[in-house]
Structure 1
């Protein structure tokens, strides 16, 4: 009887180990801009695939690229394209980056709700972020110094803003650099003098106010029709063609159900041809 019990316990332990071995644990790292859509897509995917565990760590697109290169993630979230030097580093380590566009986005300036400014031009935004305009009175606001808030240099959002708004000029030295889009929103919500920029999914917060650019509000519609001037793609990167559960997740986020999640968090589905055309400009 004892032998039978011991055998049964051994068999159950072996089955447990086998189940653990076959369970899939996928760490995903990278962009905080991509995080909102990934969080909801991961929850929906895991609900239908009980044996798959996907964990998300968001700290910036640069960190996503590093994680893909060093092999600590099979799936990197990025709000910019990988740089040539990152692709070279990857290939030197035997990694072949594959880009997958999962959505489109627009970068939207935000201020405190008490700020009367409703619109800024691209030239004004450039002058704010390079330190040439430092007082709100020069922009139609109440007199007082502008508190410039920016993403940090590991962020794809920072790099895209720097390239398309600052035209590669250096950001104002006294800018408050934040490690995530959530931190940017929190900072602006507490500082009446602040200005910042975030992806569209982070603008649905009553503690901040969005500002138009060149007279055009940041929105899904204005990104699709090509009138909003600061739009971009959102990406996943894998090492070569994705396989197994990673491939299944990628297929899910690009499916009709996955793209509905993209729309639900106020990003723009990749199926929209006008968005694709805009992002290539």
Structure 2
């Protein structure tokens, strides 16, 4: 009996030591992120310090290069995880990355509160951004030249690529006013009744409003159902199925605490 108790004690000690080693290993593993600025600014900014406090795992870097560059870095193994605010393309899926939807977003097409236009159709919006429609009076507005704002059109940003694919049907952009980030476009629009531009609904601000597209507003139900034209998923993407510290982060983002962070600016997946 004494021998059996000794064996049990030894087994418990080995199990405890293994658990401590595993925990210490995960805590010692540092993570890195790059990708969509909307995910970095509206989710990672709060999620990272909370996750670090709970898990002991540290993020060495949180980059804001945009979805395209962040995804390339993740697929090349240069960062642990990328934030991508759009669906993956067939070519990207062909590389068999691991991805997890953590929420849903919508691109609002923002106009100034002083702009009298109440609704735009997809065809009108395409006409504006391909340069065929140049004045607000052509879509029921004032006699003002349209200032169509965008992030740099060759930047690989998720907003730019999603807008081109969904609204422009893959056609090239016309002459647009290019600013560094969609948030910069929103600031421009707030002070310029002639301006408009797409940006995540998380960037909604005083002086601007999102205009309905084909009569549909970007409500939570329409975003989740995909009935609003510019709905999009928010993804975490890694080169392979996550293990260790990275799996802990994926699990945290799907936990009630992580989903509450997502819900502050976006539509949570759970």
- Name the TM-score, length of structure 2 as normaliser: 0.82
The counterpart of 1:42, out of the listed 48, 56, 75, is 48
d(CA) in 1 for partners of 2:225, 2:195: 30
Per the TM alignment, residue 229 of structure 1 is displaced from its structure 2 partner at its CA by 2.3
What 5-or-longer segments of structure 2 have no aligned partner?
1-23
Match of 2:136 in 1: 136
Match of 2:80 in 1: 74
- Asked if the contact 1:200–1:219 (Cα under 8 Å) also holds between the matched residues in 2, the reply is no
d(CA) in 2 for partners of 1:133, 1:162: 16
Deviations, residues 188-228 of structure 1 (Å, cap 9, x unaligned): 2333311101112112x113221111122212133235542
Match of 1:208 in 2: 208
1:1-80 → structure 2 map (5 Å cutoff): 23-35=28-40, 36-53=42-59, 55-80=61-86
Q: Match of 1:128, SS?
A: helix
Per the TM alignment, residue 87 of structure 1 is displaced from its structure 2 partner at its CA by 5.9
Match of 2:17 in 1: none
- Asked if the contact 1:61–1:79 (Cα under 8 Å) also holds between the matched residues in 2, the reply is yes
- Pairwise CA RMSD of aligned residues? 2.3
Q: Match of 1:76, SS?
A: strand
Per the TM alignment, residue 230 of structure 1 is displaced from its structure 2 partner at its CA by 2.0
Give the ranges of 4+ consecutive aligned residues of structure 1 lying more than 4 Å apart after TM superposition. 84-88
Match of 1:157 in 2: 159
What 5-or-longer segments of structure 1 have no aligned partner?
1-18, 272-281
Q: Match of 2:249, SS?
A: helix
Per the TM alignment, residue 77 of structure 1 is displaced from its structure 2 partner at its CA by 0.9
Deviations, residues 6-58 of structure 1 (Å, cap 9, x unaligned): xxxxxxxxxxxxx9x96443220011232212222223212323442353211
Pick which of 68-77 and 40-49 moved more.
Answer: 40-49
Match of 2:268 in 1: 269
